[in-house]
Structure 1
Amino acid sequence: MAPRTFALALILCVALAAALRLPQLSLRPMHGDEAVHAVKCWELYATGRYAYDPVEFHGPTLYYATLPILRLSAARDFASTTATTYRLAPAVAGVGLVLLAWLLADGVGRSAALWAGLLTAVSPALVYYSRYYIQETLLVFFAALAIGCGWRYGLSRRAGWAIATGAALGLMHATKETAIIAWGCMAAGLAAAWFPLRSRAQACPARLRDGGLALGAAVLTSVLLFSAMFSNARGPLDSLRAYGVYVSRAGGGGAAGDHTHPWDAYLRWFGYWQSGRGPVFSEAGVLLLALVGIAAAARGVEPDPRRRALARFLAVYGCLMPVVYSALPYKTPWSFIGAWHGLILLAGLGAARLTARAADIAGARAGRDRLSRAGLARAVPGGAALVACALVAWNLAVQAQRASTRFAADPRNPYVYAHPLHGVERMLAWIERLAAVSPEGRDTTIQVIGENPWPLPWYLRGFARVGYWDDSPERLDAPIIIACNAGEHLGVRLGDAYQASHYGLRPDAILTVYCERSLYERFARAAATAASEPATRVVDEP
């Protein structure tokens, strides 16, 4: 493939990725995790202060990546920000992930890099979680950046690429604690790539210097972010202490037990999923192409030893990541997308290998050569492989669009995990209608009762007087009371003084909104007046 053709095709893949990731970012209700991160990010933006918590919330790169968007949005306060404001940062990272295939093009071949870029662009999982305000997409982006820059350094031995590799590794650490899993798999891949070349390896001073530069860049980048630009000395130390917490969590301990799943959960979520009469979601085509890529890497068909080494690295990295994540009891679908991208890189190798003979179609000559039996024997398998791979990509794109739009908050979507329903948006609309007729307006007092109120703090951010309780407080007298999975005792306690309405928060959680009877009657009178106004205007018309 000519360089210009590759560049144009990769740009088209980037455009496709943008078309799937950027539109309608506010379509889906905010997940509880997204709401938490939005609050943390706004605190950083509004106060300029950040303190890393080794128990929750992960690293700060997501928040710092969002700051330019917040500045451009000219948001006056937290209430004036939108879901799009926050989700734009990971969406852009998801688009950029496609572009990073360029870094590996002369290592895996332009065709393989292009296929990897296309599959990255249309993968339903990668598309869906690129539209999610959590750390995973940034972590995958920085991991791919580290691999790409590491390959560029291996080719050129330029110190700049070593520094870029180290900075990317540092950004991984400052994004999420699970970066250590990717580092371990990268180290194993490097060992597999280096071992056959060990007789040629030389620990020359320049390489030792570049290794030191990479390490320094990684440490400096991580410390800079965890310390909030050197304003919090505890941050870098807490980032190391956090691993005690996350080792326990990865084993399913504590509250993480809610996310304990069997070893094959990722295979079911990503390989084949159908819930009830819902649509089939399957990225099995990526798995099949990845198997071909693994076989090609194992055979070592590349004549250049450095390209063979890169293929071995990708094979080991791409195989180990799914194994490690599947072995951990703690599982969420978004945790796996880093491993999935490793498999997509291998799938790019596999697709390129399968379609290598497709060039015979374009190269067929008119006349006897075109109709010769040998020419057809070469062209037909290659053409069939090309069509099959294209159909895989097309099917994934259709699924990605479906998962991110119509089924964006539907429990039948495997990527919808512990996710709020649209009922939370209807609840907000009801509360806003009540506030519109309340004498206090948006200063109306709201009491929220429930152990885990998220994402309600996001949806109620426009109200000035909101309080949260794990259990029913002694004093319950707010005009509006919201309870999650409220028992009968709360309704009995409030009696006829409140009007109740119900909204789905999640499939296993119901929100009950209790509206003070006097406020409800005020709303009913206002609604009746509004309903009668059109008829009055018709009668009064001359």
Structure 2
Amino acid sequence: MKEKRIQKITLLIAFFVPVFIASFLRFWDIGLRPFHSDEGVNSFFLLNLFDRNYYHYDPANYHGPFLYYIGLIPFYLFGISDFTFRLMPALFGVMIVALFFPLRRRLGTMGLLTTGLLVAISPANAFFSRDTIHEIYLVFFSLAVVVSFFLYTETKKSRYIYFAATSIAFVITIKETYILTFAVYALSLAFAYCYEMISLSKGVRFLYCKDTFTAFANHCKKNRYAVGISVGILILITFLFYSSFFTYYSGIKSILTTLKIWTKTGTHSGGHTKPFFYYFKLLYKFEFPTLALGIAGFYYSFRHGNKFTVFIAAWAILIYVTYSLIPYKTPWLILNILLPLSIMGGIFVNSIFGMMKEKWHYAIFYPLFIGIFGFSCYQSLMLNFNNYDDERYELVYVQTKRDIYNLLDRLKSLSNTCGQNMAINVVSREYWPLPWYLREYKNAKFWGGIIENPNAPVIIVDKTSETELKKKLKGNYKKERFALRPGVWLTAYIQQGLYETGFGKEITAKTNTPSLAKISEKELERGLIAKYYYNIECIGTPFSSRVEKDSVSFIYNDETKKPYRSPFGIEWEGYLSITQKGVYQFATRSDDGSVVYIDGNMVVDNDDIHATRYISGVIPLDEGFHPVRIKYFDGGGGAIMEFLWTPPGEKESLVPGQILFHKR
């Protein structure tokens, strides 16, 4: 009796611990990461459905209808917010972990705990469960199909036929890649039965094959009503979603059309083409415990396995090969590979745990077990709460930069001056997810390009259209630049009067250079004061501030070697010691922009986004200390900055740290 109670408690721990961890990693500060551009598009369709009751499925446009209809539930219950928009994928991310519980007899208690932890703590699973995209729903219902099938083989209860049919229907309504999932399932199931048949003696194989088909036919006959109802459920759910609940019957025709369109997308993938081993590299870098334990599980499955373990092994191998062969690759597709690998890892750990007898076995096992998952937990925490927009981490893919929050803060400051009814013309060709964030600004218009009269209190334009915009501007504007996502830059043009009203104090602080009055060396210390910002305009509060005594010089040609995520800006300020009167040349060699001010005058203008570029300027200087301010920003890719000078009669070199000072 006591032993059964202990087993029950252990089983509950194996279930609830992963569920609790999954809940924390998916729900905590869920609005921290800016919306991905795909989320911006999805939010547009969802808001249309919520506000105007309008959604029509388009086979060429952003996958199936399930995401939008399931997303209505939290909107109706709790209102519109970042949290409610991301609530359902986070919830389904937790439900994936909970859905392993019905497989507890096949996984074992330790297998259930291991599989649950592998998915709960997985950096990729946690990361994409915090995104409102289709993949997490696809993974949940794909698992539900497998669970329903094997529960039926155990119990022969018809309700699992209904569960399977419902899950299959939802898979079809989520994403066109359902065809790959079902093909892999069919092949894996066939392989599992064939593997079991081959393990038998030759004389029994034919009888086994015959009995298998006979049993299948008998089950279909016995449960013909359940099968018929299940087919009806499948058709009804598919019809309801694709017809927009009987309001758009053309959506039904598109179920097959989408396969043709997305077959072309998968094979002609443009900028999303990746090499065959792309997913393996992601697994190795971010999901090594799952990869290692999953591979170890293959050995166990084929050596000691049954139909279930062989099916899972075949599923893992086939889904990996299938997605790796398709040229179109994005990091969230790795979730389809991680699911069976995690189950394989659980099967392997459970088998190892079952073989342990001695105390020293446990003394080795438990620290190793805790260490593995502790490392994964650290990776997951860093990715989801610190590096979530840092493209040096390959799971972060064309992610909106947190610099967008700086843009929103600037607009909020302006709206405090003239109200949220101020006109905002967004004439950028790239702007997602701004429609979501600017939904409260009733006069924010998204034109998709330069219009005949773009003038407004605030104009937002992308870098590629900026030259065309300048030709049509009337009046004086101040501009600030912001990173939307890698390779996409937005410039906010703000009418000068509004800018000065909204940011007057800040302008005064920024334009106040150190005093031009004579200053003695006793008042100074070596080095410039350097302030580091996670934006290119060096606005707001710096994330780091320190005195730097060396020359201003660094070269990071490799994105992964940079000490800070992009975009970042640096502002150095202090005094330049000049010991010889004359005309001096100053220069910067930088990637991206840099400017140099001496005595309050711009001497070097090497600003804007560009590859490595050298720009110089000259200024006459007297002996003494001269205020100097240097600004630099990096927008992505390489980060290079060199502050150079050519004193009278000398060769060009880095400005030495010995002549750079700051006020005590």
TM range (shorter): 0.7 to 0.9
User: Equivalent residue for 2:114?
Assistant: 115
Q: May I ask how many residue pairs the two structures share in their alignment?
A: 487
Q: Deviation at 1:231?
A: 2.5
Contact 1:143 1:172 (8 Å CA) reproduced: yes
The match for 1:423 is 403
Cα–Cα, structure 1 residues 199 and 134, in superposed 2: closer, same or farther, change >3 Å?
Answer: same
1:460 equivalent in alignment to 2:438: yes
Letter of the structure 2 residue corresponding to residue 434 of structure 1? L
The CA deviation string for residues 398-420 of structure 1, in whole angstroms up to 9 with x for no partner, is 11111110112222222210011
Q: Which residue of 1 is the match for residue 88 of structure 2?
A: 89
How big is each residue's C-alpha offset from its partner over 1:163-188, in whole Å with a ceiling of 9 and x where there is no partner? 10010011111111111111111111
Aligned to 2:626: none
Checking the alignment, whether the CA contact within 8 Å between 2:14 and 2:112 is kept in structure 1 is no
Corresponding residue for residue 403 of structure 1:
383
Which letter does structure 1 place at the counterpart of 2:461? A
Match of 1:283 among 267, 287, 295: 287
Whole-angstrom CA distance in 2 between matches of 1:324 and 1:459: 37
Deviations 1:226-277 (A, max 9, x none): 22222221222212211111001111x2xx41211111111222312xxxxx
Aligned to 2:263: 247
Alignment of 1:225-264 (within 5 A): 225-251=241-267, 253=268, 256-264=269-277
User: Who is 1:536 aligned against?
Assistant: none
Which residue is 1:131 aligned to? 130
User: Whole-Å Cα distance in 2 between the matches of residues 429 and 469 of structure 1?
Assistant: 22
- Opposite residue 294 of structure 1, the aligned amino acid is F
AA matched with 2:480: S
Taking the aligned partners of 1:215 and 1:349, their CA distance within structure 2 comes to: 33
- Tell me, in whole angstroms, the C-alpha distance in 2 between the residues paired with 1:27 and 1:348: 32
Distance 1:336 1:528, change over 3 A: closer
Mind listing any 5+ residue stretches in structure 2 that lack a counterpart?
Answer: 1-5, 198-207, 509-664
State the shift of 1:466 in Å.
2.3
2:498 aligned to 490, 506, 519, which one?
519
Superposition pairs of residues 46-445 of structure 1, within 5 angstroms: 46-73=51-78, 75=79, 81-195=80-194, 196=197, 198-201=209-212, 202=215, 203-204=217-218, 205-207=221-223, 209-251=225-267, 253=268, 256-272=269-285, 282-301=286-305, 308-358=306-356, 360=357, 378-381=358-361, 383-438=363-418, 441-445=419-423
1:354·1:386 contact (CA, 8 Å) conserved in 2?
Answer: no
> Structure 1 unaligned runs (5+)?
76-80, 273-281, 302-307, 361-377, 530-542
Tell me, in whole angstroms, the C-alpha distance in 1 between the residues paired with 2:11 and 2:503. Answer: 64
How far does residue 220 in structure 1 lie from its aligned partner after superposition?
Answer: 2.1
2:352, 2:370 → 1: CA distance? 12
Give the TM-score, by structure 2 length. Answer: 0.70
How far the C-alpha of 1:316 sits from its partner, in A, is 0.7
Q: Secondary structure at the match of 2:31?
A: coil
Cα distance per residue 1:107-143 (max 9 Å; x no partner): 2333322211121111110011111111111111111
Q: Aligned to 1:12, which of 8, 17, 20?
A: 17
Alignment check: 8 A CA contact 2:461 2:490 kept: yes
Query: Which residue identity does 2:346 align to in structure 1?
Result: G
Which has more strand, going by share of residues?
A: 2
Answer yes or no: is the 8 Å Cα contact 1:355–1:386 preserved in 2: no
Pick the aligned partner of 1:22 from 23, 27, 35: 27
Compute the displacement of 1:335 (Å): 1.6
What SS is found at the alignment partner of 2:420?
A: helix
Letter in 2 for 1:26: G
What is the letter of the counterpart of residue 243 of structure 2?
S
CA distance in 2, matches of 1:191, 1:501: 60
What amino acid is aligned across from residue 257 of structure 1 in structure 2?
Answer: G
Residues of 2 paired with 1:206 and 1:9: CA distance? 37
Range with bigger deviation, 328-337 or 480-489: 480-489
Residue 373 of structure 1 is matched in structure 2 by none
Give the drift of 1:513.
0.3
The Cα of 1:3 is off from its aligned counterpart by 3.9
**Structure 1, 150-159 or 487-496: larger mean CA deviation:** 487-496
Contact conserved, 1:351 with 1:389, CA < 8 A, in 2? no
Say if 2:499 is the partner of 1:499: no
Secondary structure at 1:515 match in 2: strand
Q: SS of 2:99's equivalent?
A: helix
Q: Could you tell me how far 1:209 is from its partner in structure 2? A: 5.0
Work out the percentage of aligned pairs sharing the same amino acid. Answer: 27
Q: Match of 1:340, as an amino acid?
A: L
Choose the corresponding residue for 1:31, options 32, 36, 60: 36
Q: Deviations over 1:432-477 (max 9, x none)?
A: 2222222xx2222211122222111112111112223343222221
Cα offset, 1:382, TM superposition: 5.3
- For the structure 1 residues 514 and 490, does the alpha-carbon distance in structure 2 shift closer, same or farther, using more than 3 Å as the test? farther
- SS in structure 2 of the partner of residue 198 of structure 1: helix
Q: Which moved more, 1:462-471 or 1:193-202?
A: 193-202
**1:12 Cα shift?**
1.7
Give CA deviations for 1:460-511 in whole Å, capped at 9, x if unaligned. 1111122233432222211211011245624642376211111111231211
User: Where does residue 3 of structure 2 map in the other structure?
Assistant: none
- Find 2:489's aligned residue among 510, 535, 539: 510
Alignment CA distance shift 1:488-1:164 (3 Å): closer
Q: Deviations over 1:285-332 (max 9, x none)?
A: 21111111111110135xxxxxx1111111111111111111111011
| Shift, 1:344, TM fit | 0.9
Counterpart secondary structure, 1:500: strand
197-206 or 89-98, larger mean C-alpha shift: 197-206
- Structure index of larger Rg: 2
Q: Kindly indicate whether the alpha-carbon contact (under 8 Å) linking 2:10 and 2:109 is maintained by their aligned counterparts in 1.
A: no
Q: Tell me, what secondary structure is at the counterpart of 1:174?
A: helix
Cα pair distance change 1:488/1:145, threshold 3 Å: closer
Check conservation: 2:283, 2:291, Cα contact below 8 A.
no
| Letter matched to residue 238 of structure 1 | S
Kept after mapping to 2: 8 A contact 1:289/1:350: yes
1:146 and 1:105 map into 2 onto residues whose CA distance is 16
Distance 1:291 1:383 in 2: 24
- Name the structure 1 match of 2:659: none
**Cα 1:266/1:82, change in 2 over 3 Å:** same
Measured after TM superposition, the shift of residue 423 of structure 1 is: 1.2
Q: Say which SS state the counterpart of residue 478 (structure 1) adopts.
A: coil
Query: Quick check: 2:454–2:469 contact (8 Å CA) kept in 1?
Result: no
**Is residue 125–residue 415 contact of structure 1 (8 Å, CA) maintained in 2?**
yes
Which one is further off, 413-422 or 60-69? 60-69
Higher relative contact order (CA 8 A, sep 6+): 1
Question: Counterpart amino acid of 2:458?
Answer: I
Structure 2 distance, partners of 1:210, 1:109, is 30
Q: Distance in 1 between matches of 2:46 and 2:222?
A: 41
Does the Cα contact within 8 Å between 1:357 and 1:381 map onto a contact in 2?
A: no
- C-alpha RMSD of matched pairs (Å): 2.3
Residue-by-residue CA offset, 1:44-90 (whole Å, 9 max, x unaligned): 222333211111121222222222211221x3xxxxx2211111110
Range 461-470 or range 36-45, more displaced: 461-470
